[in-house]
Structure 1
Amino acid sequence: MTSLNKVERRKSVAERSPSVSYTPDVIPHLAGLEKPQAHSLLLDECDVLIMGTGLVESILAASLSWQGVDVLHIDNKTCYGDSNSTLTIEQIKSWCQEVNGGKIQHFEDAQVYVSGELSLPTSKYKSKDYGIDLTPKVMFAQSDLLSLLVKSRVYKYLEFQSLSNFHIFENDSFAAKFSNPTSKEEIFTDQSLSLVTKRYLMKFLKFVLQDNNDEDKRQVLTENAKVPIEEFLKKKFNLEKSQINELVYSIGLATKESSKTPEALARIRRYLTSFNVYGNFPVLVSKYGGPGEISQGFCRSAAVGGSTYKLNTTLVDYDPSQKVAKFSDKSSVRINEKLVVSPTQIPKFLQTSYNEITEALPMKNINRLVVVVKKDCKEWMSNSESSAVVVFPPHSLPSDNSKGIQALVQNGGSGVCPDGHSIWYLTSFEQDKAKAKLDLQSALDKMEAAILRESSNNLDDVLGEEDFVISERGTPVVVNSVKLGKSLQNFVPKEKLEIICKLGYVQQTYVANDLSNVLNPTKDNNVTLRKPKDCGEIIFTNMPSAEISYDGIVSECKTLYSSITGADDDFFDVDFEDEDDTFDGAGFHQQPQTVSTIKANALTDDENAIASSDEDDHNEPFGANEMEL
């Protein structure tokens, strides 16, 4: 097996935040990070073996460890994260070879281009300066995973930054009637909207923010349970196509025209209720990487709780009668309870069992395009922020995309690339892979043209009065940051966009795009609940979903936890000794009582590092009780 990360790797969570005073004096180290790995496993037995250090598996390991379960957590790679890894460019090249060689399941058709500049001795940029997420995600401020990060104290290992800019492409340009309607004041001061449109929007926002238990609202949702959201918004609220696109695809981050009304409204509500929880933004991103960074945080928590870690280790045999597992390092361990196996870590002798339990489940393709460019794209981001989201609604591109395309943009301030550069993560939900490639390239072309126009030094020469509106502060501003005025559509910049790296691949999952089989799992629809005929002790986990947010993650973990322990009542039900600590963005401070919320000014000016709330805010984006802590 080709080994990733032999020569280089990015700094880990453990190396950036080594064990400090607020943790116990004796800390079980993460193997290979805070001290060298032992040559072979030094234990005779464990309760649960977990294979794969992806986000779900890592949360599971921590949750079990803190309940006194003896966990052995291994990964066949030399870095943490599994399907959620954050990789350097050199690691990406090796990863592509493994994918195309059939060594990593549920990924295929990996293609990578790397600029020759990185290999030059005179280049000031190195491969490890870049951290590319395999499954990029953003976190809504009102979400169950964020609540879990606070409850488990894992947030102490991480840094978060705000993301407030969501942009939408329509009518062959980045133009829209309004942007991010997060308050009445913002809508009523938007000079580009008519008074009638503002009234319709306010009526809709009032409706969507109503309590879901309101009798009138419940009746409306019931009557329109099967109605596509676009049809509902037109008939019920007289909204125009541009407002519908912004609400459904930008704010709601839906991906298809057929999205039903209850689901789409829940998505829109998710955004609106997340705004102003911690500040003037709805979304957070983790610094230095996405799910892979958070995975490492939970691995550290699991290690403190007593889990044993071993990387670059593979399960080579398992005797269900003796419950003995044999590993690639020649060691043997008795497994007293369960084996939890990631789909990308399945050993050959378990492949038939996995194929049998998944053969009746529909496979979904997630088509990804990642581009590292020599532009910081600050024109698309709010002041002091390092990330933005750009969406392309269905049928908005020259390729006539039938599904929406979502793009996450992060620059050097997010710790994933050098200053002056940015990483664009584009995702298509089109199931025809050839068509998806066309759509992704079309979206990339539009983004490239937009950023070159907007960052051009000659911009002032082509802007006219019609390209400006008056802000709520009374100052003229360009129509919006990425949504360019009409004068710019025909402007051809002199420069070309420099590409450092371009990566394309297809990720496959059995998780439905609407997360229905995660939020309401059954034996008929979810891999985790389908047990192999020949070995009931083995539990397979799901591949990451197509969802750009972290919704569904905690639900998956609870399903796994229940499968092992019989119930999820005590999932992370732990009294941590540092209950009275809170993070204010600059450090730890003792409080006279438990802090229930965090002030909006908890961000540092330079890093936007955000503190997390001890309040158990619940997020139910799809109305599922399973998402509550």
Structure 2
Amino acid sequence: MSYVTEPRRPSMVDRRPSMAERRPSMANGRKPSVIPQLAGIEKPISPQTPETCDVLICGTGLVESILAAALAWQGSNVLHVDSNPYYGDTCATLTIDQLKDWVHSVNQHTPGFQGFSKALLYIPRPQDLVSRDYGIDLTPRVVFARSDLMSLLTKSRVHMYLEFQSLSNFHTFENDSFGKLQTSKEDIFTDQSLSLATKRHLMKFLKFIFEYDSLDNLALVESYKDKSIQDFLQDRFKLDGPQINELVYSLGLSASPDISIPEGLSRIRRYLVSFNVLGQFPVLFSKYGGPGEVSQGFCRSAAVAGSTYKLNCALQSFDPKTKLAKFSDGTSAHVTEKVVCSPSQAPPHASYVPEMKYEITRLITVVKKSCREWMAENETAAIVVFPTASLSTNNKYPVQVLIMGAGTGTCPVNQCVWYLSTIQKGEVARKDLEAALLKLEDSILRESEDGFDVSLDPEDIIVKPDGATVINSVKLGKSFKDFVPKEKLQYLFKLCFTQHTAVPPFGVVSSSLFDTSAEKPTTDGSGVIPDSTVIYSNMPSTEISYDGVVTEAKLLYEKIVGSDDDFFDVDFENEDEDNDTLTDVAAGDEDAIIDDDEEEHSKAFKDEMDFDL
């Protein structure tokens, strides 16, 4: 076994092929009208630092990268630097060797790695891992089909640089097994674990979600303002604990039980309105990596619009009087407007860095198993949620798990990456994650083991009209409790760390986090950066989705420009209708148009739900 204690010199040779290298714009004979083939974003053609820039952005995280592209297309002269030898900063996608460097830097409190702590990397058999075969996300994310990021990816044409895959299987841990979420009328009807009364109540609630904005429903929610969403679902819709857990923690992907009713309903609705927008799935993810891959897409767009990029280049100091920024490579630049800095990229002795009082504890592991049993046909990923009090540790907060198979381009064949996270703190958090890991291990071993005999009555096995088999999950769970695996799961890699953020759970960053009017900056030239001149962005939030990143980018944009009215207001020329479309990941068709008519979509759903039990 190997614990990482020694630093390695970062090497561009060790990195995985970049997004820019894998997806040149001229691929497949398609020639974008505005965004041409870009060479040199990974290895800048001109490494010289410009003498002057309008905006200096430090850190190539997702929010900063969106901001850089928006400003560049608006006409600003942007200098975008990162102290790391790769793109992504706090949301990078890293190889195994890059992770070794990252762990050492975090534990040594190296400048450029603020916002992370307590990192531990365990590799039992280093010889079994080829570094470049892996792309591990520091902050894994999925994107809802109907969301502001998906709209921006289409509007900005950045989706042309990325490959997306669908994810439709959401599982909830209950009765010692992982039940697949049922949200369609047919699935609810054929679920033998639900009573007729429960089915009726569940369908009534789903219809309510799409009529939520009516005055009567708003008044109803207001009458429950002093109660939890769990109380609301139980009192008003007579739903039981398992259904409430599925709605709040799986559909809503809520990281905490402490959530308001409006917020909880909004998160459940987010899932439902995203279903069938691009296919029979609610969310997608970018192949070869998550936010780190999307960050590169926006960096590439910004570079096309004229931004200058420098990696391995850290901001050392900024003089507010002369507006001179000095960098670690000995160069300098005059900044005429603003400096935007990621907390992780703050220079030595920087003041007014946002207080990061919220935590996310993450456990990432690679297992030698395909885990196909958890994934839908023709898909390579799934989501598993452990609700509160579902583990042996009596977990106070849910544990969210993102499962990524080999088809995602992030690990070799017959392996799988498991991303576990919780907003619990300290040693308790790690115990919760380890307990969830054991349940995942037990589940995949028994579900994949040949010849495992489950004792079920014939009436507990239902064949649906499409030929699929549905099994009573309650009795299945009881049977699984007596299961003894014939093999052990082989772990190739484990990484555990704590991430800090200023954004509260469920919170979308507010302009108050960027309000520096009351600050009294120091100007002694000691390298301290005053907040009246510099705007700090935030560490990634607890969200497993991308919700909130576009809002933060717009708020930062407004602080610099004065308004967000022209945020990505670019007249991209259209050579053909294909440029207005997003790849149909279900059918492999590049002519699938995103349907922005939510009212029409909601009506179609309500019509489908209009039936009598």
The question of a shared fold, defined as TM-score above 0.5 by the shorter chain, is answered with yes
Letter in 1 for 2:209: V
Q: Paired residue for 2:610?
A: none
Q: Separation in 2 of the partners of 1:26 and 1:378?
A: 37
Aligned equivalents of 2:474 and 2:63: distance in 1?
35
Q: Distance in 2 between matches of 1:347 and 1:72?
A: 17
Maintained 8 Å contact 1:155/1:612: no
Q: Secondary structure at the match of 1:438?
A: helix
Matching residue of 1:454: 447
Q: Could you tell me how far apart the structure 2 residues matched to 1:64 and 1:478 are?
A: 52
CA contact (8 A) 1:143 1:617 kept: no
CA contact 1:371–1:499 (8 Å) conserved in 2: yes
State the secondary structure of the residue aligned to 2:385: strand
Cα 1:54–1:444 change in 2 (3 A) is: same
Amino acid at match of 1:9: R
Residue of structure 2 equivalent to 1:590: none
C-alpha separation in 1, matches of 2:149 and 2:475: 32
Cα distance in 1 between the residues matched to 2:475 and 2:48: 56
Deviation at residue 17 of structure 1 after TM alignment: 1.2
Q: Does 1:539 align with 2:532?
A: no
The residue number in structure 2 matching 1:10 is: 16
Equivalent positions of 1:210-609 (< 5 A) are 210-212=211-213, 214-349=214-349, 351-354=350-353, 358=354, 361=355, 363-431=357-425, 433-459=426-452, 461-465=453-457, 469-473=461-465, 475=467, 477=469, 479=471, 484-516=476-508, 518=509, 521-523=510-512, 525=513, 533-534=521-522, 535=530, 536-578=532-574, 580-582=576-578, 602-603=584-585
C-alpha change, 1:301 and 1:316, in structure 2 (3 Å) is same
Which letter maps to 1:110? A
Q: Secondary structure at the match of 1:204?
A: helix
Deviations 1:488-507 (A, max 9, x none): 22111111101110000000
Q: Count the aligned residue pairs.
A: 580
Whether contact under 8 Å (1:369, 1:426) holds in the other structure is yes
Shift of 1:528: 8.1
**How far 1:462 moved relative to its partner?**
3.6
Query: Following TM superposition, by how much is the alpha carbon of 1:216 offset from its aligned partner in structure 2, in angstroms?
Result: 0.6
Amino acid at match of 1:239: L
Q: Which residue of 2 aligns with 1:53?
A: 60
Task: Tell me, yes or no, if the aligned pair for 1:368 and 1:506 is still in contact at 8 Å.
Answer: yes
SS class of match (1:66) = helix
Could you say what secondary structure the match of 1:109 adopts?
A: strand
The aligned counterpart of 1:198 is 199
Structure 2 gap segments, 5+ residues each: 1-6, 523-529, 600-613
Match of 1:68 among 75, 85, 91: 75
Q: Structure 1 residue 617: deviation in Å?
A: 6.4
How big is the shift at 1:293?
A: 0.3
Name whichever of 310-319 and 238-247 sits farther off. 310-319
| Deviation string, structure 1 residues 494-535 (Cα, Å, up to 9, x no partner) | 11101110000000001010114x1xx243x55788866343
Residue 411 of structure 1 aligns to which amino acid in structure 2? G
Q: CA deviation at 1:230?
A: 0.7
CA distance in 2, matches of 1:283, 1:483: 30
Which range is displaced more, 98-107 or 10-19?
10-19
Displacement of 1:226 in angstroms is 3.3
Q: Which amino acid aligns with 1:16?
A: R
Q: Matches of 2:568 and 2:311 in 1, distance apart?
A: 25
Tell me, yes or no, if structure 1 residue 127 matches structure 2 residue 131.
Answer: yes
* Aligned AA (2:397): K
Q: Indicate conservation of the 8 Å contact 1:353/1:532, yes or no.
A: no
1:333: how far off?
Answer: 1.2
AA of the residue aligned to 2:373: E
Cα distance in 2 between the residues matched to 1:482 and 1:333:
65
In 1, distance between residues paired with 2:178 and 2:437? Answer: 17
1:8/1:128 contact within 8 Å kept: yes
Deviation at 1:26, TM superposition (A): 9.3
1:610 deviates by 7.4
CA contact (8 A) 2:343 2:537 kept: yes
Task: Report the CA distance shift for 1:369/1:175 in structure 2 as closer, same or farther (over 3 A).
Answer: closer
Q: Are the equivalent residues in 2 in contact too, given 1:226–1:260 (CA < 8 A)?
A: no
The C-alpha deviation readout for 1:444-485, integer Å capped at 9, x for no partner, is: 0000000011111222x3453469532432646252899954
Q: What residue identity is the alignment partner of 1:319?
A: D
Q: Distance in 1 between matches of 2:230 and 2:331?
A: 58
Alpha-carbon distance between aligned partners in 1 of 2:547 and 2:71, rounded to the nearest angstrom: 21
Identity between Structure 1 and Structure 2 (%): 49
Contact kept in structure 2, 1:30 and 1:303, CA below 8 Å = no
Residue by residue, what CA displacement relative to the aligned partner does 1:590-618 show, whole Å, maximum 9, x if unpaired? xxxx66xx79xx3366xx68776455568
Could you tell me whether the CA contact under 8 Å between 2:164 and 2:585 is conserved in 1? no
Query: Which amino acid in 1 is paired with 2:218?
Result: R
Question: Is 1:108 matched up with 2:111?
Answer: no
Preserved contact between residue 28 and residue 303 of structure 1 (Cα < 8 Å): no
> Would you say the 8 A contact 2:25–2:161 is kept in 1?
no
**CA RMSD, 1 decimal:** 2.6
Structure 1 residues 137-146 or 328-337, which shifts more? 328-337
2: distance between equivalents of 1:479 and 1:301? Answer: 48
Evaluate the alpha carbon distance shift between residue 543 and residue 476 of structure 1 in structure 2; reply closer, same or farther with a 3 A threshold: closer
Counterpart secondary structure, 1:303: helix
Are 1:150 and 1:612, in contact at CA under 8 Å, matched by a contact in 2?
no
CA shift digits 1:141-185 (9 cap, x unpaired): 1110000000000000001111001111123x1255xx4333323
TM-score by length of 2: 0.89
The residue type paired with residue 46 of structure 1 is C
Q: Is the 8 A contact 2:273 2:598 kept in 1?
A: no
Which sits farther off after the overlay, 7-16 or 481-490?
481-490
Does the C-alpha gap of structure 1 residues 194 and 279 become closer, same or farther in structure 2, counting only changes over 3 Å? same
Q: Is the 8 A contact 2:144 2:284 kept in 1?
A: yes
The aligned amino acid for 1:533 is P
Q: What is the DSSP-based 3-state SS (H/G/I as helix, E as strand, rest coil) of the residue aligned with 2:541?
A: coil
Q: CA deviation at 1:127?
A: 1.2
Runs of 4+ in 1 over 6 A off after TM superposition: 480-483, 527-530, 608-612
Q: How has the CA–CA distance of structure 1 residues 291 and 530 changed in structure 2, closer, same or farther, with 3 Å as cutoff?
A: farther
Q: Are the aligned partners of 2:33 and 2:573 in contact in 1 as well (CA < 8 Å)?
A: no
Give the distance between the partners of 2:473 and 2:60, measured in 1 at CA.
38
Q: Is the 8 A contact 1:387 1:410 kept in 2?
A: yes
* Contact 1:532 1:538 survives alignment (8 Å): no
Task: Answer whether contact 2:25 2:37 (CA < 8 A) is retained.
Answer: no
Residues 46 and 36 of structure 1: CA distance in aligned 2, closer, same or farther (over 3 Å): closer
Instruction: Tell me the secondary structure at the aligned position of residue 169 of structure 1.
Output: strand
Q: Is 1:174 equivalent to 2:173 in the alignment?
A: no
Compute the displacement of 1:341 (Å).
Answer: 0.3
Are the equivalent residues in 2 in contact too, given 1:190–1:471 (CA < 8 A)?
no
* Aligned partner letter, 1:498: Q
Q: What stretches of structure 1 of length at least 5 have no aligned partner? A: 584-593, 620-629
Q: Give deviations 1:23-73, integer Å, cap 9, x for gaps.
A: 46995846462x4554532x2111000000000000000000111111010
SS in 2 for 1:297: helix
CA distance in 1, matches of 2:23, 2:163: 10
- Residue deviations 1:201-254 (CA, integer Å, cap 9, x gap): 111111111152x11111112222332111111110111111111111111111
Measure, in 1, the Cα distance between the counterparts of 2:592 and 2:502. 32
Counterpart of 1:108 in 2: which secondary structure? strand
Amino acid at match of 1:479: I
> 3-state DSSP class of the match of 2:177?
coil
